């Protein structure tokens, strides 16, 4: 999908937040906000913690099972008369494997859920976005109509946008954009 | 702030001090390569280890480096969970320190194996001999602990860098540099959804890393405590090693930030307050270590084990007593100066004490490893240990490896977490406005 986009950058978080709210309330189109730092009012998404818990538990249970299988079935050795299933000795390795898999699980799930890993997006061609991870609060709006675009521009100007750019290109996938817009 | 931090990597010309420091570090790395190559050819007979002191420099250095490494994780993970804002200026330097310190630590157990090229036998892989490692051994726990810690530390470090790599990508002028940082940023653009996931993921990683670092040091402690060796078989070893890790970790962070803040022009970000907080932490961890030293002495005389008593008396009054007392002076007495506020903000004193603690911690490891092994239970088995030139070259070689890694990282990654600083600065501004 291609079309016209209006990209506005703001120097302050306050103006950006108001602009997001107003543009969203007026239903001028889909919003794609980009910020130089996390917005503290946004609650972190918990699905990653579930993923981390599952991968961590797989590590703990799998690690313990591996140790038990190796020392009971595959290669049983009498070490100082200890029982074959000396389970307290198996706990540290199971714990370490669990922690390691949980860390890997967090990072993999972040890449999957946050849409990270896609090195190029058409939005990268927008000059204003270059400052989104430095010192500007950027809103990319996909207006519903030329009238919406004009109204959005006026609104952004009135709210003190530092720069406004009309951007004609294919934007990020509607899935992630929709998710962003719905959370505003 | 962003311009200043990025500028160190993207715009600043290579400084003379950096070239000189890297040249010295690379010379030491050359010494390490030489020492390890000769070790591979001739075997561990080139080291000073022999019966009864079979754990020599390799284990001393391993425990020393892994303890130093932990400081970064404590600052980065534990203080993130505690919500302290001062860590934002320090966590990147501390984490980078961790990466290279843990790399140095990881070398020693492998070299110590005797046949280092077969190190992968430690890993439980399906093999034709159906031979499995001994999972009941603390030494194997160590292998898994180091493996988990190395991989997790690198991932945690990289994860913390992703938004800053995005900033570097967007600010780079040369296309090659932009592509490099673009790949490293992995398509992070700072969208609201990405940040929400990022915060969740970072918080969970910090919550995993904090117990992980404690477990790694507890397991290193169990390597010793698990053996029925005089001076080692003690229940206090796991927490004692965690205290030692805190002490040397904080000391190394201080030792690095004092010169780096000036050399990189970070005086605005790393201030007297950071020195004040870190030196207080160093003092607290020193007190914890002092408690462990006292408990060691107390338990020796509280119990009635003759061998323990002889071993302890050998430590405090035997041939190697100067090393024990140097440990006490450097780890116990020297940090006490930080009760004074003037000392806590004096850069010269901070450097002196931190360097002293780093040396003191090495001496502590020396006395734990060597002094216990040289006096086993049966007097007829008593022996001694004298390090060789190859032992020293390997030790200083890893110092060079650590320094070289850190110096190269200084030119490639922003040494202050920009997005966290941004957050802190906006918060501060908000408070001022209110």
Bigger pLDDT: A183 vs B165: B165
The answer to whether B431 contacts chain A (CB < 8 Å) is no
For testing the chain A interface, which of B124, B200, B221 should be mutated: the one with the most A CBs within 10 Å? B200
3-class DSSP state for residue A9?
strand
pLDDT exceeds cutoff 90 at B27: yes
Return the pLDDT at A3: 54
- Residue pair B233/B368 in contact (Cβ under 8 Å)? The answer is no
Instruction: Give the DSSP letter string of A67-108.
Output: HHIIIIIIS---STT--S--HHHHHHHHHHHHHHHHHHHHHH
Residues 192-221 of B with CB under 8 A from A: 192-201, 203-205, 208-209, 211-212, 215, 219
Residue B16 has pLDDT above 80, yes or no: yes
Q: Which of residues 329-368 of B touch A (CB under 8 A)?
A: none
Torsion of CA B392, B153, B244, B325, to 10 degrees: 10
Question: Within 13 A of A48's CA, how many CA atoms are on the CB side?
Answer: 28
Q: A130, exposed or middle or buried, with CB in 10 Å at 0-12, 13-18, 19+?
A: middle
Share of chain B above pLDDT 70, in %: 98
- Closest residue in A to B146 (Cα–Cα): A96
- What does chain A come to in residues? 184
B175 contacts on A by Cβ (under 8 Å): none
* CA A171 – CA A177 distance, rounded (Å): 9
Query: What does the angle CA B206 – CA B412 – CA B198 come to, to the nearest 5 degrees?
Result: 30
Q: Average pLDDT of B345-371?
A: 97
B2 to chain A, any CB pair closer than 8 A? The answer is yes
Contact call for B134 and A93, based on CB within 8 A: no
| Residue predicted with more confidence, A101 or A122 | A101
Q: Residue A176's closest chain B neighbor by CA?
A: B193
pLDDT in tens, B216-230: 999 999 999 999 899
**Which residues of chain B does A109 touch, with a Cβ-Cβ cutoff of 8 Å?**
201
Residue B191 near chain A (CB below 8 Å) = yes
pLDDT bracket for residue B273 (50, 70, 90): very high
Cite the DSSP H helix spans in B77-231: 79-82, 91-112, 138-171, 175-185, 192-225
> Does the pLDDT value for residue A172 go beyond 60?
no
Q: Chain A, 129-168: which have a CB under 8 Å from a chain B CB?
A: 129-135
Q: Does A57 touch chain B (CB under 8 A)?
A: no
Taking phi over 0 as left and psi of -120 to 50 as alpha, with beta for the rest, B123 belongs to beta
Is ipTM strictly over 0.85? yes
Averaged pLDDT for residues B193-217: 94
Q: Is some CB atom of chain B closer than 8 A to the CB atom of A73?
A: no
Q: What is the per-residue pLDDT for B429?
A: 55
The answer to whether residue B422 scores a pLDDT higher than 90 is no
pLDDT of residue A183: 35
Average pLDDT over residues B85-106: 93
Give the pLDDT band of residue B427 (cuts 50, 70, 90). Answer: low
Residue of A nearest to B140 (CA): A93
pLDDT tens digit sequence for B301-312: 999 899 999 999
B206, B207, B208, B211: CA torsion to nearest 10: 110
Region B47-66: mean pLDDT is: 95
- pLDDT of B430 higher than 80: no
pTM of the model: 0.92
Mean pLDDT for the stretch of residues B189-211: 94
Residue B113 distance to chain A (closest CA, Å): 20
pLDDT surpasses 60 at B171: yes
Place of tokens 């997001």: A20
Q: Give the span between the Cα atoms of B228 and B412, in whole angstroms.
A: 47
Give the pLDDT of residue A176.
41
Looking at every residue in chain B, the average pLDDT score rounds to: 93
Q: Chain B contacts of A49, Cβ < 8 Å?
A: 200, 204
Q: How confident is the model at residue A181 (pLDDT cuts 50, 70, 90)?
A: very low
Is B433 a residue whose pLDDT tops 50?
no
Taking CA atoms, what residue in B is nearest to A128?
B170
pLDDT value of residue A169: 66
pLDDT, mean of residues B332-352: 97
Task: For B70, list phi and psi in degrees, rounded to 5.
Answer: -65, -25
Q: Enter the DSSP assignment of B14.
A: P
Q: Is B57 helix (H, G, I), strand (E, B) or coil?
A: helix
What is the model's pLDDT at position A45? 75
């Amino acid at each position: 999908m291609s079309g016209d986009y209006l990209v506005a950058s703001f120097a302050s978080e306050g103006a950006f937040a108001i602009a997001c709210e107003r543009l969203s309330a007026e239903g001028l189109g889909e919003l794609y906000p980009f910020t130089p730092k996390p917005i503290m009012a946004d609650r972190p998404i918990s699905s990653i913690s579930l993923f981390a818990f599952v991968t961590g538990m797989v590590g703990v249970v799998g690690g313990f099972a591996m140790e038990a299988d190796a020392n009971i079935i595959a290669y049983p050795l009498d070490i100082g008369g200890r029982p074959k299933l000396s389970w307290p000795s198996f706990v540290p390795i199971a714990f370490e494997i669990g922690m390691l898999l949980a860390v890997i699980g967090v990072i993999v799930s972040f890449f999957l859920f946050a849409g990270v890993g896609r090195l190029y997006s058409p939005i990268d061609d927008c000059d204003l976005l270059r400052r989104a991870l430095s010192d500007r609060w950027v809103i990319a709006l996909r207006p519903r109509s030329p009238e919406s675009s004009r109204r959005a521009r006026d609104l952004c100007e009135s709210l003190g946008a530092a720069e406004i750019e009309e951007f004609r290109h294919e934007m990020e996938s509607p899935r992630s954009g929709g998710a962003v817009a719905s959370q505003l | 702030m962003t311009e200043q931090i990025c500028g160190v990597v993207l715009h600043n010309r290579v400084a003379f001090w950096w070239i000189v420091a890297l040249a010295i570090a690379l010379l030491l790395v050359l010494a390490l390569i030489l020492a390890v190559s000769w070790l591979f050819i001739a075997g561990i007979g080139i080291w000073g280890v022999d019966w009864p002191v079979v754990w020599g420099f390799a284990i001393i250095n391993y425990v020393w480096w892994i303890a130093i490494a932990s400081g970064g994780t404590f600052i980065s993970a534990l203080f993130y969970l505690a919500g302290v804002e001062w860590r934002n200026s320090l966590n990147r330097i501390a984490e980078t320190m961790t990466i290279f310190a843990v790399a140095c630590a990881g070398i020693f157990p492998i070299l110590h194996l005797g046949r280092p090229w077969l190190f992968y036998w430690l890993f439980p892989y399906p093999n034709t001999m159906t031979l499995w490692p001994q999972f009941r051994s603390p030494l194997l726990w160590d292998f898994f602990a180091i493996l988990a810690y190395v991989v997790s530390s690198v991932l945690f470090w990289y994860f913390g860098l992703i938004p800053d790599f995005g900033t570097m990508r967007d600010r780079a002028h040369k296309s090659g540099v932009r592509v490099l940082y673009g790949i490293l940023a992995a398509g992070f653009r700072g969208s609201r959804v990405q940040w929400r996931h990022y915060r969740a993921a970072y918080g969970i990683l910090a919550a995993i890393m904090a117990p992980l670092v404690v477990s790694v040091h507890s397991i290193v402690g169990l390597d010793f405590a698990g053996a029925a060796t005089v001076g080692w078989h003690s229940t206090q070893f796991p927490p004692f090693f965690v205290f030692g890790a805190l002490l040397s970790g904080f000391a190394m962070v201080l030792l690095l930030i004092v010169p780096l803040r000036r050399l990189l022009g970070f005086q605005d970000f790393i201030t007297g307050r950071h020195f004040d907080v870190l030196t207080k932490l160093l003092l607290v961890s020193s007190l914890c270590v002092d408690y462990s030293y006292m408990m060691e002495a107390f338990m020796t005389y509280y119990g009635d084990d003759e061998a323990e008593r002889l071993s302890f008396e050998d430590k405090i009054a035997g041939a190697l007593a100067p090393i024990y007392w140097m440990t006490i002076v450097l780890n116990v007495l020297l940090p006490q100066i930080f009760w004074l506020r003037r000392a806590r903000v004096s850069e010269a004193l901070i450097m002196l004490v931190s360097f002293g603690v780093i040396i003191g911690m090495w001496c502590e490891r020396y006395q734990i490893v060597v002094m216990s092994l040289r006096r086993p239970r049966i007097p007829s088995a008593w022996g001694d240990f004298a390090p060789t030139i190859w032992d020293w070259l390997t030790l200083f070689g890893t110092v060079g490896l650590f320094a070289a890694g850190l110096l190269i990282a200084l030119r490639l990654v922003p040494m202050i977490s920009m997005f966290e600083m941004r957050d802190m600065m906006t918060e501060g501004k908000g408070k001022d406005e209110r």
